[in-house]
Amino acid sequence: MYTPPNGFFHGGLDADPELAQAVRGEWARQRDGVELIASENLVSRLVLEAQGSVLTNKTVEGPAFGRYYGGAEFADRIEALAIERARRLFGCRFANVQAHSGSNANAGVFFGLLGLGDVILAMDTASGGHISHGHPATLTGRDYRIVRYGVSPETERIDLDEVRALALAHRPKMIVAGGSAYPRAIDFAAFRAIADEVGAFLMVDMAHVAGLVATGLYPDPLPHAHVVTTTTYKSLRGARGGLVLWNDESLSTRIEAGIFPGVQGSVTLHAVAGKAACFGEALEPEFAVYNEAVVANAGTLAETLAGQGLRLVAGGTDCGLTLVDLTGVTTGDVAAKALERAGIAVNKNLIPFDPLPPEAPSGLRLSSNAGTARGFGAEEFRAIGLAVAAVVRAPQDEPTIERVRAEVRDLCARFPIYPEP
């Protein structure tokens, strides 16, 4: 006979002090630090609870209302809710909410729509493309033939003539637009015209701008792309995971099968519930106000950095994301480490035509997503911009780092986040 130990169903984190200490350490790090990493955000308590709920116990496979396992009544309801909200949020006909991550969403779409060895035309990583778009170190880079477009050396913006010339020369089956470190607006209609000219699918990966797209603050890819993918935890301010959207019913079977069973098994139902929660929040007027602030704050941050003599890639930003070129100042890895010690989290990043390697690149990528979520406004982002500039110009200077660390603590104390877990 087995009896569950005391506290198995009612205890919490305290049942594992070693783990609890690390989780609380992370909570305190988020509470006391300025988060500028573009792939992050602060979710609501609602999303947090949905993801930490009993749904983690339920295994389902296949589409809602067509599951392989029983007991799926509530699982079906939750997934249907997430799908219906995603469709409403982006004004499209179909949504798949099962992708465990952004990379899986992309891999599933490729697997569903392409054959082994087909050509994909996608942006190179130094120009801002994501590794899941065919980087040689990934499955996508092994299974497909990847052709790269970049940005213009003068404007550091996508050169559509180059994209078209490469498409005509290589006849891709898939063209990918969108990336991880491209700060400017993208002309999705022009991409679609090129795709149509060569008979390719157009996939747009809007991971870093999905929240802005949902609120009309960034060009909408859905009228143009055959399929749109995104993560749900960056600008959407929600659950960890991926999302696939499309309008053409004739692609549905292949896209759905590309995700399951193509690249995944069962559903992470707790994450799907988190997605339903965040899509629900994103449908409220509050989310538009949040995104307007994300864009305004990114502008303030960019202006402040430029005012301190730092060069911004592509001259600035059309979204929440800014790429700073540190050439002649320091390198991205040194800057990121110094900023971390000062309580500001950023990531080092390649810049277009970067002469330096990815481990010690020339750039830093900054975003206003998470800071805006806790309520930072123009005044705070101006202060953050000044602090970033001071630290990257003196990454070895202890007094500067200590001064900024103290400022960051004060700032964060005025904008509290969750209670202690």
The two tokens of residue 106 are: 């992309």
- Residue from 207, 321, 389, 392 in contact with ligand PLP (CB under 6 A): 207
- Residue from 58, 85, 208, 348 in contact with ligand PLP (CB under 6 A): 208
Backbone angles phi, psi at 298, to 5 degrees: -60, -40
Tell me if 347 contacts ligand PLP by CB under 6 A: no
Q: Could you say which residues in the range 320-339 bind ligand PLP, by CB under 6 A?
A: none
Please state, in angstroms and rounded to a whole number, the distance separating the CA atoms of residues 366 and 323: 6
User: Under a CB-based contact definition with an 8 Å cutoff, are residues 308 and 318 in contact?
Assistant: no
- Residue from 33, 35, 85, 102 in contact with ligand PLP (CB under 6 A): 102
Minimal distance, residue 155 CB to ligand PLP, in Å: 21
Range in contact with ligand PLP (rule: CB under 6 A) among 154-162, 174-182, 264-272, 297-305: 174-182
User: Under a CB-based contact definition with an 8 Å cutoff, are residues 255 and 243 in contact?
Assistant: no
Q: How far is CA 10 from CA 18, 34, 179, in A?
A: 19, 34, 43
**Cβ nearer to ligand PLP, comparing 75 with 207:** 207
User: Under a CB-based contact definition with an 8 Å cutoff, are residues 297 and 376 in contact?
Assistant: yes
Is position 129 annotated in a ligand binding site?
A: yes
Range in contact with ligand PLP (rule: CB under 6 A) among 2-10, 99-107, 281-289, 318-326: 99-107
Minimal distance, residue 38 CB to ligand PLP, in Å: 8
Please state, in angstroms and rounded to a whole number, the distance separating the CA atoms of residues 290 and 375: 9
- Residue from 179, 280, 299, 361 in contact with ligand PLP (CB under 6 A): 179
Range in contact with ligand PLP (rule: CB under 6 A) among 70-78, 142-150, 200-208, 365-373: 200-208
Minimal distance, residue 281 CB to ligand PLP, in Å: 19
Is position 130 annotated in a ligand binding site?
A: yes
**Cβ nearer to ligand PLP, comparing 228 with 388:** 228
Torsion over CA of 87, 98, 133 and 294, rounded to 10 degrees?
Answer: 50
The separation between CA 372 and the C-alpha centre of its own chain, rounded to angstroms, equals 16
- Residue from 39, 51, 127, 264 in contact with ligand PLP (CB under 6 A): 39
Minimal distance, residue 347 CB to ligand PLP, in Å: 11
Please state, in angstroms and rounded to a whole number, the distance separating the CA atoms of residues 139 and 143: 6
Question: What single DSSP character describes residue 318?
Answer: S
Minimal distance, residue 230 CB to ligand PLP, in Å: 8
**Cβ nearer to ligand PLP, comparing 133 with 405:** 133
User: Under a CB-based contact definition with an 8 Å cutoff, are residues 110 and 99 in contact?
Assistant: no
Minimal distance, residue 275 CB to ligand PLP, in Å: 13
Terminal Cα-to-Cα distance of the chain (whole angstroms): 34
Please state, in angstroms and rounded to a whole number, the distance separating the CA atoms of residues 241 and 231: 6
Tell me if 98 contacts ligand PLP by CB under 6 A: no
Tell me if 124 contacts ligand PLP by CB under 6 A: no
Q: Could you say which residues in the range 214-233 bind ligand PLP, by CB under 6 A?
A: 231
Minimal distance, residue 344 CB to ligand PLP, in Å: 20
**Cβ nearer to ligand PLP, comparing 101 with 330:** 101
- Quickly count: other Cβ atoms within 10 Å of residue 382's Cβ: 16
Q: Shortest CA distance to 298 belongs to which of 279, 283, 318, 281?
A: 318
Tell me if 103 contacts ligand PLP by CB under 6 A: yes
Long-range contacts of 254-257, Cβ-Cβ distance < 8 Å, separation of 24 or more: 254/112, 254/113, 255/94, 255/96, 255/108, 255/109, 255/112, 255/113, 255/227, 256/63, 256/96, 256/112, 257/112
Range in contact with ligand PLP (rule: CB under 6 A) among 18-26, 72-80, 97-105, 194-202: 97-105
Is position 249 annotated in a ligand binding site?
A: yes
Total site size for ligand PLP, rule CB under 6 A: 13
The two tokens of residue 77 are: 């309801």
- Residue from 41, 98, 132, 291 in contact with ligand PLP (CB under 6 A): 132
Q: Could you say which residues in the range 239-258 bind ligand PLP, by CB under 6 A?
A: none
Question: Nearest to ligand PLP by Cβ — which residue?
Answer: 102
Tell me if 205 contacts ligand PLP by CB under 6 A: yes
Could you tell me whether strands 321-325 and 311-312 are parallel, antiparallel, or unpaired per DSSP bridges? antiparallel
Minimal distance, residue 139 CB to ligand PLP, in Å: 12
What SS3 state is found at 366? strand
Q: Shortest CA distance to 366 belongs to which of 155, 157, 102, 181?
A: 181
The residues binding ligand PLP (CB under 6 A) are: 39, 101-103, 130, 132, 178-180, 205, 207-208, 231
Binding-site entries for (6S)-5,6,7,8-tetrahydrofolate: 129-131, 249
